[in-house]
Amino acid sequence: MIREVLREIDDIERFLNKYKDYLGEDYIKYQKTLSELKIKARLKEIELKIKKALSLKSDKEYSRARVVLKDALALLENLEDETINKKIKTFNNQINLLKIQIENELLQIKNLLLGDESTINIHINPINMVFNIEEDENLKKLKQLLSKYQNPVKIGEGGFAYIFRVVKNNKIVAIKVPKELTELTGKIFLREIENWKKLNHINIVKLYDYNIHPYPYIEMEYCETDLNKIKNKLNLRDALMLIFEVLNGLKYAHNKGIIHKDLKPSNILISNGIPKITDWDLAREETSKSTTINALTLQYSAPEQITRTGIDKRTDIYQIGIILYELTTKQLPFKGDAFDIMESIKNKTPPKPSQINPLIDEELERIILKCIQKDKNKRYQSVGELQKDLANYLNMQLTTELNNSKSKNDFSRSMFYCADLVLFHLNNNDLPNALKYLYDLKYYAKKYCSEEIIKAIDNLINGLEYRIKEGIKEPSDDLKIMTKIVVEKVKMRF
């Protein structure tokens, strides 16, 4: 049945290609719809293979089940590559869940073929590496914790902890567990929880749950990637837009009296295109006098962290400046071994960003270099002050690009810049301007997008109009998320 559906879709595709020139702009929309239908059919085909493998497994035909699962995984990985190439995000969560399920089933079957009847669904090797033989009791407790979840898969680690992707109540979440149980890691873990539980913001990874029994853990929002993995793919404007959002989360934390102290690309996760700050284990309240630099990433450390003097909110601003420098130039300001980097951070002036990337103009360079001044008093004194300059810069750049595209009658680009202006003003809590550009976006989208997208834009307009009428100063998280989704679809001419 699925093969027949796929053949019919192929026939329609051949028809579309034949009349591509005649269909004009509609060709892209039809092709997009067909691509999604084809992906749905192929996902169904993979699900049926998994079902067949589970049936073979229950009949103890483990070798045959393993072959079917490996075939399903290969098909799924090819399909995932296709969705990435075509920039189709609709099926991301479903693909991730299927991948987790297949990987977990393959691990179980491998253990069964090796004569291990254990049904605990965890990757044993990375966990066993944490414990010595005499610490079997801790390993047992960790297994007990992970057995509460479905399909645990180790996805990363930091200085003090391992991160697992798990499934709970049919939802993917992440859990963080300490690498070892010592007095130091206990204090770090408790401090992280104490800080994190005070923070609830769209640009901060959400804390769901935590406990010390049966093994210390933090349950948190799962994000599909991090800034470190995508930093070299970002153009100048996208990098600045992303950092502007990050600053919203950082400003919120600072207003709560919490300083992060360890901002770096790997501590900025991305979920559905929204950046979120994570890892609050080195964070401290503003009133704390601790100045330790243990476990910091040296390249992102501020001078006062190297010299162990006077850490405050401006330390986070310095680290944001280093990230900005890296995102816009594609390199860090200081290089060499640990000693060279420490000396450079304390005493040397980095190369001007414009010398590395000529697209960086004088104003953007001024913003970046002001963030990373060695003297804290010469930096931006608050996140709000930095955001104000960055907002003025982004607004000027985007409106200039929009006006240029209008003057050239390049309305496809006009739609693109309107979309960015909507997001920018929404993240800047400027609802009237966000609404203004939403109306413009609707005008341009009518030329290029489906009726479904136009309706979605109308819903956003209604939501903003309501908030403005009621005197609400900020957009809701749901409104931000929906706007991000709609804007991305508009850019893809969905």
Residue 239, by phi and psi: left (phi above 0), alpha (psi -120 to 50) or beta? Answer: alpha
Token pair 């309107």: residue:
418
> How big is the chain by its Cα radius of gyration, in Å?
25
**Correct CATH for 226-388 of 3.90.1170.30, 3.30.930.10, 1.10.510.10, 3.90.550.10:** 1.10.510.10
Res 116: pLDDT: 52
pLDDT digits (tens, 9 = 90+) for 407-464: 999 988 999 999 999 999 999 999 999 999 999 999 999 988 899 999 999 999 999 9
The residue length of the chain stands at 494
Q: Which CATH architecture has domain 408-491?
A: Up-down Bundle (1.20)
Token pair 């309240």: residue:
285
Res 367: pLDDT: 98
Annotated catalytic residue 477: no
pTM here is: 0.72
226-388 shares its CATH topology with 408-491: no
Res 86: pLDDT: 78
**Out of 26, 81, 238, 262, which one is annotated catalytic?**
262
Res 16: pLDDT: 59
Domain boundaries, the chain: 2-113, 124-222, 226-388, 408-491
Query: 279 in helix, strand or coil?
Result: coil
CATH of domain 124-222: 3.30.200.20
Res 84: pLDDT: 83
CA–CA dist 219, 207 (Å, integer): 6
The answer to whether residues 256 and 280 touch, using CB atoms and an 8 Å cutoff, is no
Res 5: pLDDT: 58
The residue ranges of the chain whose pLDDT is under 70 are: 1-32, 93, 97, 115-136, 159, 284-296, 494
The answer to whether residues 146 and 219 touch, using CB atoms and an 8 Å cutoff, is no
